[in-house]
Structures are given as C-alpha cells and as structure tokens.
Amino acid sequence: MPNPSPTSSNPLFRLAFYALAIGMALTHVFITFRGLSSATGMEQAQMAREMARGNPFQTKVIRPYAWAVLTQAGRSPAPAAMPDITQPPLQPLLLAPVFKLLHRHQTYEPGKNGAIFLLDRAVACIGAAGLLLTLFWTHGSARKLFDDTIAGVTVAVLLVCEPLWELAVSGSAVALLMPLMALAVRLLVSASLAAHQDRSSGGTLFLLGMVAALMALTHWLAIWLVLGLVLAVVLALPEKRSLSIRVALIPILALTGWGWWIQQACGDPLGGAKAIFQTHLLNLDATALQRQFSLGMPPVQVTEMLRKLLLNWQTQFGELGTQFGYSFPAVCFFLALMHRFRRAETNAVKRALGALLLATALGMGFIGLPEGRLDDNQLYLTLVPALSIYGAAMLAVLWARLNPMAGGTWGRLGYAFMAVGISSLPLLNVLPAQIKLGMTMRNRIYPHWPPYVPANVSLLNKLLDPGEILFADAPWFTAWYVDVPSVWIPIKRDEFEPMKTLAEAQGAKVAGFVITPISSHVEYVHEALSGPYREWPDLIFRGPMVAFDREFPARPGFPYKVPLPLVAIPVGPKENLSLQMTFYTDRPRTVKE
C-alpha cells in the first residue's frame, strides 16, 4: 500500500473537507431541494405527523390488503383513525418529536409558505445529517482497515456521489438505513480487529446486535441485511463464531416484540407486511398484493419464482454502476475480492462484506427493483460506503503496481483523482443547473413532476367536506399534502363497493378519485390495459384524451364522473388541455375560502 499522504492528516485539509461536506448538505437541503420524492417517505412522514398529534401508530394511507386484515380480525376502524399495521416504526418515531416542535406548520399551505412544505425540509435535514454521519463512520472504518489516505479517498468519493445525496433528502427509509449500516460496519471492523488481537469483542458485538435491530425496524427488507451481518460476523471472527448468535438474537427479540404489538392490533403478527414477504415468492408486481381487498394468495410456482430471481439479477447486475450510486470504487470491490491484502483482519472483513453483499443481492433478486436506483426497496446503496473502502484500496494497489517508480502528487494519488472524477460525473451533470434554478426560484422551485405537484393537489383541502375520504393511485401523496384519509385504488374494480360500504358504515364519505401519472406510467400504451390499473381505464385515459376532443365514458353506474383538473398541459395548435392529474368527483364543487 502507498504511504499515507501528508495532506490526509493536515488540519487545514480536514477543515476544508468538513466545510465542503456541510456546504453540500446545506445546498441539497436549502437550495436544490424540491420536496420529498419517496412514496415510503411520505407515508411514514404522515404517520409521524399523526404521532405528533397524539395519534400513535395511526395512518391516513389505507392499503386494501391491510384493511382486509383488520376486517377479518373483526376490527372496524374509521378511515380517519386507521391503525397502521404495515410500516416499520423507527423512522416515524424519529420524525414525530421534530414534527411536534413544528406543530404550527403541520398543515401544508403553499400560498403562505411557498411550494416547499416545511416538514419536507425537516425530513431532508435529518437525511442529510444521516449522510454526514455515514461519511464519519466510513472514514473511521477505512482508517482502521487501511490508512488515512484510503479513508480520505473513500469519503471524497462518497461526498461527490449525487445519488447518495438524492437518497438522503428523498425521505426514504433507506436513507436512515445508510448511517445505520455504516455504523454496523464500523462496529464489525472493531470487533474483527479485537478478535485478531486476542481482545474481547463481546461488548462491540452487543452494540452491533442493537444496530441490527434498529435496521430491522427501519425497513422490513433490512432483514436481508441483518442476515448478511450475522454471516459477516461468522466470517470476520472465525475463532468466535458462536458470538454471531448474540448479533442475531437482539433483532429477533425486537421483531418478536413488534410482532406481538401488531398481533394485538389485527390478530396477525405480520399484519399488512405479510404481503411484502409473500411477494418474494410470487411473480407479481410488488404492489399487487397490497392493493387487493382480500387475503388470498396465488399458488407459488417454483419455476416462475426462480425465473423472476434470475431475471431480476440480470437486470440489476446489468445496471451495476447505477445500483451502486455511480461510485467507481464500489464497483471495484469485486476486484478487491480477488486480491489478498497484507493484514488478516482486513481480508476477514472483506469476506464479511462479500457475504453481506450476497445476502442483499438475494433479497433484491426476490423482490425486484422496478424503479431502479430510485426504488424504495433499493438496499444496494446502503452498502456503497463500505464497498468503496475496499474498492479505493484496490485502485491504490493497481496504481502503485502500474507506476512503481512514479513520484509527485499524480504518481501517488492519480487513482484518487480518477475515482473522484468518474464518481462525480452525475453531480457535475445536474448540480450546477439545479443550483442556478434553486437560487432563481427559491421556495418556488419546480416539484418532482411527474408525478407529484404538492401545491396543486393541496387545493383539494378547499374542495372537500369534513368526513370525506379519497381513493388515489398515490395515497401517500394525498395523505401527506392534503391531510385526508386516502385509500389505494384496489386492483379489482368490484372490490371498490365493499370498501366504500365499510367506509360509509364508519361515517366517512368517498369524495372521489385522484389520478396522477403513476397509474399511466407504462413503457408502451397498450400496457395500460394489462398493467396494475387495467380495470380502471376510464380514470386513466379520460383526462389525457380530453385534449383530443374525445370523451372516454365512465362505467355505467359509476358516480365519479366530474373531472376537476389539478395539472393540465396544453396540447396541439388549439392548445386544448390534457388533464395529467385529475380529481374525479360525483358533483361540481366550489372552492371554500
């Protein structure tokens, strides 16, 4: 390995790096931030807001499957007081105290405070702080495994990885997983070093078990990460493999306790999350079971399941750079797996990270990532900091062997410039334009369209009567920004009437349907007739077809026929309006002041 660079320990160099890291965080939170982009982030944020109001573990996002679980258990909750039996609890518990402090700003009012919801920005602040902690813990791991130079190169690469910053401010639960994983790797490194030096590592592994429990309560698919951590302990501490039981026991106890809580709420320890785990075994869209108002599960076809697994792996590995956040050193981790480093503990941790990556790939293969790196189940990004450590070290080894007699800064650190330069390409592509736009538009910056325009959908607050609820293809969006109970449109049309009847029995009235580009997001037009919203073509096509003077009639007897445009785009020479986001209701409505 190359000798440590003198700049890596220079106080001025470190101070400049800290200033740059904080500047990047402030830029992404206060200049380029366009609101939350994660569906899970919005759903968990509205749960946290309910907690801050004194309604613990209640949700305004009503999933048909979860509603069916509650109904079968004999529960009849009102839509306005629906218990949440699907989402993991940690992120809502973390956000609730912050929202409590901001109780005066819990209602989204773009006319008064600008297009960016203050609570959105609060969530982004927490996510950015989490990424800064990730850099801190990753730097510590890299120093223990290698030296100051590799640590500096690793965090420099992570600092310019724009996908990591996008994740941090998205509101996704994966953003909270990232610092937890960095801390877990830091504890794993400490435990491995202690074991190889014949020191006690029991306390460190206990802390690692606690972190693993927090991960399991942050994202249900993090169970794959926990499994990987248990295997990692076995490989990193070959002489103390029995201690891996300690790491596994704590998250098992935490999940058992949460399962008991859910059992009291709905009679099933898995609650609405059961559909997420069932999806692993089925060749279905990840949301299909969540949108069915029944508890039936199609038969498992082993051949189809294996075919889905292989197809997902083919897609994910074909997009390896994207899945790894464009971190060039992270991709080079696979080269590091084939290299034997000098220290035994470094090689042990390398094998442990390989096992962790394998467990993650297994989970991602079963569940699939239809939205790519923006998917709320994308857990590869949580491993990028740790993988980048070994990738940077491998690049240093290769660079030293290709330039054995080279001197000067380029001869010593040329690999670092290349790693940072390649990894920063997405940032250089988008950040300057975003900064210019943010400085110009300020709090009126463009939202994440398509599919979200919070300022427009908030108009529903002035159209709805008290006690009314919505059906929507993006219920997390309407529940968070409109602050009304929102039911996910069921996958089968004939399930709507039983759900409507249940809501009316509890004193709620269905106001109508909110349709966004999410339901019409297909690669080819004909897929809209065979995709997840195939039974609702009148709601999907009617708004866009208005611009062509063509009426797409509603189903006979369907009362929600009156379209109220929320986002309309002029089309053609006559500039007819194509309704891209529409509220379909049962009567003309007037805005209430």
Across residues 28-48, what is the average pLDDT?
Answer: 96
Q: Is the same domain home to 159 and 108? A: no
Tokens of 489: 């449109």
Q: Please report, for residues 201, 281, 287, 431, the alpha-carbon distance to residue 172 in angstroms, rounded to integers and kept in the order given.
A: 33, 24, 17, 21
Q: Which amino acid is at 25?
A: A
Q: Is the same domain home to 526 and 550? A: yes
In a domain, 5, yes or no: no
In a domain, 289, yes or no: no
Across residues 328-354, what is the average pLDDT?
Answer: 95
For residue 372, pLDDT over 70 is answered with: yes
Across residues 225-247, what is the average pLDDT?
Answer: 87
Residue 259: domain span = 12-35+120-269+301-440
Q: pLDDT value at position 4?
A: 47
Sign, CA torsion 501/504/508/513 = positive
Tokens of 357: 């990556």
405 compared with 427, residue with greater pLDDT: 427
For residue 111, pLDDT over 90 is answered with: no
Q: Which of 185, 146, 217, 533 is nearest to 383 (CA)?
A: 185
For residue 431, pLDDT over 80 is answered with: yes
Structural domain tally of the chain?
A: 2
**Are 196 and 324 spatial neighbours (Cβ–Cβ below 8 Å)?**
no
Across residues 20-32, what is the average pLDDT?
Answer: 96
Q: Which amino acid is at 102?
A: L
Q: Is the same domain home to 249 and 376? A: yes
pTM higher than 0.85: yes
**Are 173 and 378 spatial neighbours (Cβ–Cβ below 8 Å)?**
no
Q: pLDDT value at position 285?
A: 79
Q: pLDDT value at position 405?
A: 65
Q: pLDDT value at position 575?
A: 63
Q: pLDDT value at position 176?
A: 97
Q: pLDDT value at position 215?
A: 97
User: Is 483 in a helix, a strand, or coil?
Assistant: coil
For residue 127, pLDDT over 50 is answered with: yes
Question: For the ranges 135-144, 244-253, 416-425, 443-452, which has the lowest average pLDDT?
Answer: 443-452
Q: Whole-angstrom Cα distance, residue 366 to residue 236?
A: 26
Q: Is the same domain home to 377 and 260? A: yes
For residue 570, pLDDT over 50 is answered with: yes
Instruction: Give tens-digit pLDDT for 502-524.
Output: 999 999 999 999 999 999 887 77
Tokens of 351: 């094998």
Q: pLDDT value at position 406?
A: 65
Instruction: Give tens-digit pLDDT for 93-107.
Output: 999 999 999 999 999
If you average pLDDT over every residue of the chain, what do you get? 91
Tokens of 330: 């992270």
Q: Is the same domain home to 352 and 415? A: yes
Q: Which amino acid is at 297?
A: M
Q: Is the same domain home to 106 and 199? A: no
For residue 591, pLDDT over 90 is answered with: no
Q: Is the same domain home to 71 and 175? A: no
Token pair 């005066």 is at which residue?
A: 104
Q: Is the same domain home to 232 and 98? A: no
Q: Whole-angstrom Cα distance, residue 416 to residue 151?
A: 11
Across residues 494-502, what is the average pLDDT?
Answer: 95
Q: Whole-angstrom Cα distance, residue 504 to residue 407?
A: 78
Listed in sequence order, the DSSP H helices in 197-268 are: 202-216, 222-236, 244-266
Q: Phi then psi for 584, rounded to 5 degrees? A: -95, 120
CB atoms inside a 10 Å sphere around CB 234 = 18
Last residue of a domain, one of 440, 462, 495: 440
Question: For the ranges 41-50, 119-128, 298-307, 570-579, which has the lowest average pLDDT?
Answer: 570-579
In a domain, 45, yes or no: yes
Q: Whole-angstrom Cα distance, residue 586 to residue 465?
A: 13
Q: Which amino acid is at 107?
A: T
Tokens of 23: 């500047």
Q: pLDDT value at position 407?
A: 72
Q: pLDDT value at position 244?
A: 85
In a domain, 151, yes or no: yes
Q: pLDDT value at position 7?
A: 47
Q: Which amino acid is at 463?
A: L
CB atoms inside a 10 Å sphere around CB 450 = 14
Last residue of a domain, one of 384, 415, 440: 440
In a domain, 176, yes or no: yes
Percent of the chain with pLDDT over 90: 74
Supply the Cα-derived Rg of the chain in whole angstroms. Answer: 25
Q: Whole-angstrom Cα distance, residue 20 to residue 156?
A: 10
Listed in sequence order, the DSSP H helices in 368-460 are: 380-402, 408-423, 425-441, 454-457
Name 150's Cβ contacts closer than 8 Å, sequence gap at least 6.
1, 142, 389, 392, 393, 396
Q: pLDDT value at position 3?
A: 46
In a domain, 281, yes or no: no
**Are 376 and 42 spatial neighbours (Cβ–Cβ below 8 Å)?**
no
Q: Please report, for residues 321, 387, 389, 416, 444, the alpha-carbon distance to residue 398 in angstroms, rounded to integers and kept in the order given.
A: 20, 17, 15, 12, 48
Last residue of a domain, one of 398, 419, 440: 440
For residue 574, pLDDT over 70 is answered with: no
Q: Is the same domain home to 143 and 104? A: no
Q: Is the same domain home to 129 and 190? A: yes
Q: Is the same domain home to 314 and 234? A: yes
For residue 9, pLDDT over 60 is answered with: no
Q: Whole-angstrom Cα distance, residue 132 to residue 151?
A: 15
Q: Which amino acid is at 528?
A: A
Q: Which amino acid is at 544?
A: P
Question: For the ranges 201-215, 507-521, 562-576, which has the lowest average pLDDT?
Answer: 562-576
In a domain, 288, yes or no: no
Confidence of residue 1 (pLDDT cuts 50, 70, 90): very low
Q: Is the same domain home to 470 and 401? A: no
**Are 171 and 179 spatial neighbours (Cβ–Cβ below 8 Å)?**
no
In a domain, 530, yes or no: yes
**Are 66 and 276 spatial neighbours (Cβ–Cβ below 8 Å)?**
no
Q: pLDDT value at position 2?
A: 45
Q: pLDDT value at position 363?
A: 95
What is the end-to-end Cα distance of the chain in Å, rounded?
A: 69
Across residues 39-65, what is the average pLDDT?
Answer: 96
What single DSSP character describes residue 144? Answer: H
